[in-house]
Amino acid sequence: MKDVTSLNDLTDLKIRRLRLKDFLKIDKKAQQLSALEFLTTQADFWQDTPQKQAKILKEKSEVSKIITDYEQLLNLEDEIKAAFELSADSASDSDLYLQIKQELASNSIKYQKSLDKLELVHLLSGEQDSAPALLTINSGAGGVEAMDWVVMLLRMYKRWSDKSEYKSELIDAQPGEETGYKSVLLKIKGYKAYGLLKREIGVHRLVRISPFDMAKRRHTSFASVFVSPEIDDQIKININDSDLRIDTLRASKAGGQHVNTTDSAVRITHLPSGIVVKVQNERSQHKNRSLAMKILRSHLYQKEVDEKKMAQNAEHQTKDNIDFGRQIRSYVLYPYQMVKDHKSNYETASAQAVLDGEIDEFIGAAMRIDNE
């Protein structure tokens, strides 16, 4: 991240921001937002079909998000300018000068990160990039260690969701026998959520001193991440009832304890593909079954997309060929601290920050590789 130490540095960033304004057609989008807002205030809008309402409301939300993000850049730019002016006037007051310099550094980093992310997000033009993301984490080699690693990754993605002002919802969690999870399914909803997170697909490797090993030895654990878009009802995915095995069971939490006395959890197995979806977050079996079918449709859609991509690129990885030892990212906590992405070669020594949800740099690096 470049240090902004003068107004000339800020000018360079401003040039990028103005290019982005032209690319995003901000002025036209402001007019578009006004038209959409007016449309939603009309009585006949609410008499239209739910599908048309949802389409317009989604468009309105996306346009509003673009304008809001761009306006935040302008506000940060004004704050940085003001800080430069104040620092020049307060050079004689060392405490005030130091405080202004700290605020300047903080806002400069925030400005550059926001600009980087906004540039990258709007390169996403895939058919389902704006859809909510269904993120599955499965434990691999490493036993209890790997199940604890699933917990750490789950926390990382939830923190990333919070920092991005997205909404996350734990749909299902299959607890380990002793601790942690064998697998979890997390839904993340926000602007371009799937488009950003689809680059997290692959095997994630952790190296650390095990908290479960009394001898304090170093352990290596693996977990795989798979991401699919939550598709809407307008996309047709043909599923034959004869291809499904549907089981009902009691919902449980970590450690295997049942959380209710009725068989409300639903597990659906799609026999031809082997895809298994389990949902337990609703109290109603009917609601869990409906949600499980929606998730199954999303997984089958993603499988179809991946198969088409594989025909074009033999190196493209799908859920079926993610195997341990083919990690996309390594998280090393001992004997040194480092997180490295093996596709882009981007790395950082701030391992704890990454585990706290700071993964935008990794997503951005992967996107740049894909765009190249």
> Token digits for 353?
């920050």
> Token digits for 194?
């799937």
Alpha-carbon separation of residue 365 from 12, 263, 264 (angstroms): 21, 45, 42
Rounded to the nearest 10 degrees, the angle between the axes of helix 26-40 and helix 7-24 is 50
- Which of these, 201, 117, 203, 231, lies nearest to 166 by C-alpha position? 117
pLDDT digits (tens, 9 = 90+) for 7-62: 888 888 999 999 999 988 999 999 999 999 999 999 888 888 888 888 899 889 88
**pLDDT of res. 220:** 93
> Token digits for 196?
């950003």
Give the number of other CB atoms < 10 A from CB of residue 259. Answer: 12
Q: Measured between alpha carbons, how far is 286 from 277 in angstroms, rounded to an integer?
A: 15
Domains in the chain and their CATH numbers?
A: 7-121 (1.20.58.410), 133-371 (3.30.70.1660)
**pLDDT of res. 254:** 52
Number of H helices, E strands in the chain: 9, 11
DSSP labels for 67-92? HHHHHHHHHHHHHHHHHHHHHHHTTT
Q: Measured between alpha carbons, how far is 266 from 247 in angstroms, rounded to an integer?
A: 6
Q: What is the dihedral of CA 267, 166, 137, 260, to 10 degrees?
A: -40
Does residue 218 contact residue 205 with C-beta atoms inside 8 Å? no
Q: Measured between alpha carbons, how far is 240 from 237 in angstroms, rounded to an integer?
A: 10
DSSP labels for 102-171? HHHHHHHHHHHHHHHHHHHHTT---TTTTSPEEEEEEE-TTTHHHHHHHHHHHHHHHHHHHHTT-EEEEE
Radius of gyration of the chain (CA): 23
- Which of these, 7, 18, 1, lies nearest to 83 by C-alpha position? 7
In 3-state terms, the chain is what percent helix, strand and coil (to 5)? 50, 20, 30
Tokens 């380990």, residue? 176
- The Cβ-side half-sphere exposure at 69, using a 13 Å CA radius, reads 26
**pLDDT of res. 124:** 85
Q: Measured between alpha carbons, how far is 118 from 308 in angstroms, rounded to an integer?
A: 29
- The Cβ-side half-sphere exposure at 21, using a 13 Å CA radius, reads 13
The SS3 of residue 72 is helix
The SS3 of residue 249 is strand
Q: Measured between alpha carbons, how far is 136 from 187 in angstroms, rounded to an integer?
A: 9
**pLDDT of res. 316:** 42
Tokens 């490295």, residue? 340
User: What are the phi and psi torsion angles at 119 (to 5°)?
Assistant: -65, -45
How far apart, in Å, do the first and last CA atoms of the chain sit? 21
**pLDDT of res. 257:** 56
Provide the percentage of residues in the chain whose pLDDT is more than 90.
52
**pLDDT of res. 1:** 67
**pLDDT of res. 322:** 39
Please tell me the pTM assigned to this model. Answer: 0.78
Long-range pairs, 215-219, Cβ under 8 A, ≥24:
218/334, 218/335, 219/142, 219/145
Residue 257 CB burial class (10 angstroms; 0-12, 13-18, ≥19): exposed
DSSP 262: S
Amino acid at 257: Q
* pLDDT < 50: residue spans in the chain: 314-325
Cα 167 to the center of its chain, rounded Å: 10
